[in-house]
Amino acid sequence: MSQEETTSRILEAAGQVFADRGFKAATIRDICSKADVNLASVNYHFGDKQRLYIATIKHAHQLPSSQFPIPQWHAETSPETKLADFIQVTLSRMIPKGKAPWQAKLMMREMTQPTLAVQELIKEYIRPHFDLLLSILRQLVAKQTSEQQLTKLGFSIIGQCLFYRFNQPVLHMLVDEEMVDQHFSIEQLAQHITHFSLLAIRHFTEEPNDPSSILSTPITEQYSIGTESNTNLPEN
Amino acid sequence: MSQEETTSRILEAAGQVFADRGFKAATIRDICSKADVNLASVNYHFGDKQRLYIATIKHAHQLPSSQFPIPQWHAETSPETKLADFIQVTLSRMIPKGKAPWQAKLMMREMTQPTLAVQELIKEYIRPHFDLLLSILRQLVAKQTSEQQLTKLGFSIIGQCLFYRFNQPVLHMLVDEEMVDQHFSIEQLAQHITHFSLLAIRHFTEEPNDPSSILSTPITEQYSIGTESNTNLPEN
DNA sequence: TATCATTTTAAACAACTGTATGAAACAAGT
DNA sequence: ACTTGTTTCATACAGTTGTTTAAAATGATA
């Protein structure tokens, strides 16, 4: 067996096992037996379990990213179209469709329970993706929009997308299957998120409590918390 | 030490350890030493590790819910205010503030990697919370808004909130600490999400590709995917 | 075929884990 | 003070884990 075949078989098996069970609960014995290689192969080829894990994470995010690339945009492509594309690609990469989505599972696991691998993941994969989103948003909002406002806008969009990845099990328990089948395809979700977000962004010029807000009434008076109705929220 | 004190100290310690490390990686020795009880106490009081875990999950979701209750609203309270309150409470329950909210951590862990405990969790806790959100949204949208549209709206809001829970580590690596301190407090986030969502909801009357959309151009032409710019998205 | 570096294999090791046990400590009632 | 039921304690055990090792197998090169 060539070196490359062994390592790639280990990586494939490791991806599934790590995704299923997490770093600690996954055992090298499981991985090796699934990969049909000797127990010592992992230590020989990767050094130790930790480094195998990092290699697996790296290996994992390459496939979905190349499978669903960001389209090449023309110079005259509208930012709205770019945003729609961005959301569609993001959702496609994250939501299981057809075959084994263990890559996504693994990455999400890594994001909620970060290990050492998360730093590399962010630097190589998440950060550039997020920066792309911010550059699109910058074309959609008023020029004076601050960096932190833009960042929050970005998180509002990413948050909507991530919901359908993280909470797949919850989704299926809250929404009956028929509705999921009819209305929750990737395309439909992408369209909803795009629509929802563009509606908000279009009217999103200033911080809610900014005096120059377009809102007739400052938002803090319009729908503030605890002023009239809420007396038992803990202080903070 | 009374029986109740011992068990409650174990539950408290177990919650933190399970939340931090997950079921498998958490060790009874860790838990007992953190709780300052004897190693054998867990097996004596709970039988085994598995049953301790289930007891911990049940015990976990009680505190934050009672600590951050939904305010009692007046009859004339506006739905906007209700939504603002809802978002604030949701965020407060989910985001670490001061003390470690290991309860939320545990619940989120349970949602992404559901064990047997997840069903009870949804039925008793998540479902009623989500239904409340839907009832608020129903007051904010046009009457003919369909159930599935309402559900997606709900997920768009919950998704934004959950982002800041799930991706706390990612957030801190994408945004520098100064900006987090200045602009990402629970109150500021709640205000942003409320603002963002209300802007969208206010103009959200119809499905994007519905002919009666308020958009001048059908959304599918305005910012559709793959029509002009994108030729290398995989078919689906 | 003989040589040599690379890779695989089986076995072993040491550390750690959940669980069990029997003695000790404790608390309460008499 | 004594008894009794409960809880704690130190310790032991058996199984699993990641890792190491040295010998065997492999494959390319001459």
CB-nearest partner of A163 from B84, B155, B232: B155
Is residue A225 in a domain?
no
Q: Are residues A165 and A75 in the same domain?
A: yes
Q: Whole-prediction pTM value? A: 0.79
User: Whose structure tokens read 């998360």?
Assistant: A118
The answer to whether residue A96 neighbours chain B at the CB level (below 8 Å) is no
Residue A123 is predicted with a pLDDT of 84
Buried b (16+ CB within 10 A) or exposed e, A12-51: bbbbbbbbebbbbebebebbbeebebeeebbeebbeebee
Q: Near strand D (CB < 7 A), which residues?
A: A 26-29, 39-40, 42-44, 48-50; B 1, 3, 6, 37-41, 44-45
Q: Are residues A181 and A82 in the same domain?
A: yes
The answer to whether residue B236 neighbours chain A at the CB level (below 8 Å) is yes
**CA atoms of B67 and A233, how far apart (whole Å):** 8
Q: Are residues B14 and B115 in the same domain?
A: no
Number of domains observed in the structure of chain B: 2
Q: Are residues A108 and A145 in the same domain?
A: yes
For residue A148, the one-letter residue type is Q
Q: What is the pLDDT of residues A20-64, one digit of tens each?
A: 888 999 999 999 999 999 999 999 999 999 999 999 988 887 777
Specify the higher pLDDT residue, B39 or A114. B39
Q: Are residues A185 and A108 in the same domain?
A: yes
**What is the share, in percent, of chain B residues with pLDDT greater than 70?**
81
Is residue A226 in a domain?
no
Is residue B130 in a domain?
yes
The answer to whether residue B68 neighbours chain A at the CB level (below 8 Å) is yes
Q: Are residues A105 and A205 in the same domain?
A: yes
Q: Are residues A85 and A200 in the same domain?
A: yes
Q: In the structure, how far is the CA atom of residue B39 from the C1' atom of nucleotide D10, in angstroms? A: 10
Is residue B97 in a domain?
yes
Q: In the structure, how far is the CA atom of residue B1 from the C1' atom of nucleotide C23, in angstroms? A: 19
Residues of A in contact with B173 (CB under 8 A): 118-119, 122
* Domain span at B38: 3-47
Q: Are residues B166 and B194 in the same domain?
A: yes
Is residue B60 in a domain?
no
147-166 in chain B: CB under 8 A from chain A: 147-148, 151-153, 155-156, 158-164, 166
Q: What is the pLDDT of residues B183-235, one digit of tens each?
A: 999 999 999 999 999 999 988 865 444 333 333 333 343 444 443 333 333 33
Residue B170 and residue A71: Cβ atoms within 8 Å?
A: no
Q: Which nucleotide is nearest to A29 (CA to C1')?
A: D17
Specify the higher pLDDT residue, A220 or B114. B114
Q: Are residues A36 and A111 in the same domain?
A: no
Q: Are residues B39 and B79 in the same domain?
A: no
Residues of A in contact with B166 (CB under 8 A): 111-112, 162, 166
End-to-end distance of chain A based on CA atoms, in angstroms? 62
Q: What is the pLDDT of residues A215-234, one digit of tens each?
A: 333 333 344 444 333 333 33
Is residue B160 in a domain?
yes
Q: How far is CA A103 from CA A11, A59, A100, B81, in A?
A: 11, 9, 8, 41
CATH number where B200 lies: 1.10.357.10
Q: Are residues B39 and B77 in the same domain?
A: no
Q: Are residues A34 and A90 in the same domain?
A: no
